[in-house]
Structure 1
Amino acid sequence: MPTKDRIQMRDPFVLRHDGEGCYYLYGSTDPDIWKSKGIGFDVYRSRDLEEWEGPYPAFRPDADFWSDKNYWAPEVHAYQGKYYMFATFKADGVCRGTQALIADHPLGPFRPHSDGPLTPRDWECLDGTLYVNGQGEPWMIFCHEWVQIKNGTVCAVRLSPELDRAIGEPVELFAAHDATWVEAVQSVKHGSGYVTDGPFVHRCADGTLLLLWSSFRGGKYAQAIARSASGEVDGPWEHLPEPIYESDGGHGMIFKTFAGDLLLALHTPNATPLERPVFLPLLEQDRRLKLAE
């Protein structure tokens, strides 16, 4: 069984399965997610977060699936007795977007649930994540990509109770340049712009609502935190002045182990094919998160 330092993966996402006493690890697992044709998503399973069974094929597209590239950032949530994968896809002439898939078990097989992307069809979007508020209303938080609008944004849209369609129009939560620590990136294809990547919501024990997200500082991928002043998804969101991690890693999520420890999962370094999943211990303190020393 491979250890996580031997698993090439971007955008790691961990699902804890209480009934089985194990963890499932998903991520962008195609060998080159930038250039090669999309293969699908793999999943690994572990009881100790060190040795992982797999990979198992969680999703493989049917021949008539609309997307053939950029299979990115799958995350899986248990919801109303099923398992829902939110993942990003793209095709030539079609905007990148996040679609919902469904399965009866964390191993899959996952099959399309929504009719194409849940994100707006004329927006280049990515990295949708599920958030269910205190009233039980599901939302998807996602990024409107900088390659289209230069100053990337994080947005939220209400979902149907079935998670198969968006309800209403997206609401912008904040833009990348709202955070003073963010620096522009340069791309031969897209020019200069400010990146938003990988949003993930975390509710602290004291009720504080935090949002992890990633951008760039000093030419390196970095993981940062925004905090909702209202405690609700519509904010307003205030940015903590310094990233929580800036050693060329990001696209994080937070999960709690069976022992009760809080861990940040992210990938580092941000370079293909060297990226690996990393788990870092976290502490909640003063309405924020910090890496445990």
Structure 2
Amino acid sequence: MPSPYIGRFAPTPSGYLHFGSLLAAVASYLDARHHRGRWLVRIEDLDTPRNIPGATEHILRTLDAYGLHWDGEVVWQSERLALYQHVIDHWLATGQAYHCDCSRRTILAHGGGYPGTCRERGLPAAPDHAVRVRVESQPIVFRDRLQGEFRQAADDLSGDFIIRRRDGIIAYQLAVVVDDIAQQVTDIVRGADLLDSTPRQLWLYHLLQQPAPRYLHVPLVMRQDGEKLSKRLGSAPLEASQAAATLFRALQVLAQEPPAELAQAPVGDQLAWAVAHWQPDKLPAKRQIPEPRT
């Protein structure tokens, strides 16, 4: 018997929610509720230099204003450091991970992929050493619910990859897998910009001897200048006062074809319709789609 559906939305507080992140949140929420599952919210705040004061509070208020109500307590990654470190310590002890003192410049000189320089050096722990996990060249194959079959060797993109940075910050790839396992997440719906991260995450599931979730990567909305909507490029924060109109537009961009009479309906009514009629396969199986003109 399959496990009950558990989905999640995991924003980073490096800025406020914008339309691009709303699309990922809405898609994740609709998929969870359509399957009568739970929908969790996790704040991925490990990269402290990038965190913006007040961003977490704005994110949670905005989700609430848009009717995207989560189940259970919000989880902060910054409160789970011991859990990640336990995994790192275990892998260091068993030889699955190792310390690395290579600079970014050194790695770029080898074409950008890590050449394994420190793999067998046996470096001791030091404040400015990163920790890398060993990967193998075996192909990792998974079927994305929208994008189809995806095949890649875990070492194709980066070789042995970092799980703790030189500045001591736990790397995204490790933290997200450890948390999804701990929260028993069964389904991950997120933007297609993370599709290339999935093989590395699946490798970590393999090492941790845990079943991987199902994935659905929705296309990224690209600005007219070819850049994706992002906090880094100053995409406009969402406004609670425009929730109904913006949510309706999000449903349109997600190819759900909401009826015109819902355009002025409260967000709760829009979401109720969208949950009942959710069909992710209406989306194009592409990584990117153009931002619709308003």
Give the TM-score taking structure 1 as reference length: 0.27
Q: Whose relative contact order is higher, 1 or 2, with alpha carbons under 8 Å and at least 6 apart?
A: 2
Q: Which has the larger radius of gyration?
A: 2
User: TM-score, structure 2 length as denominator?
Assistant: 0.27
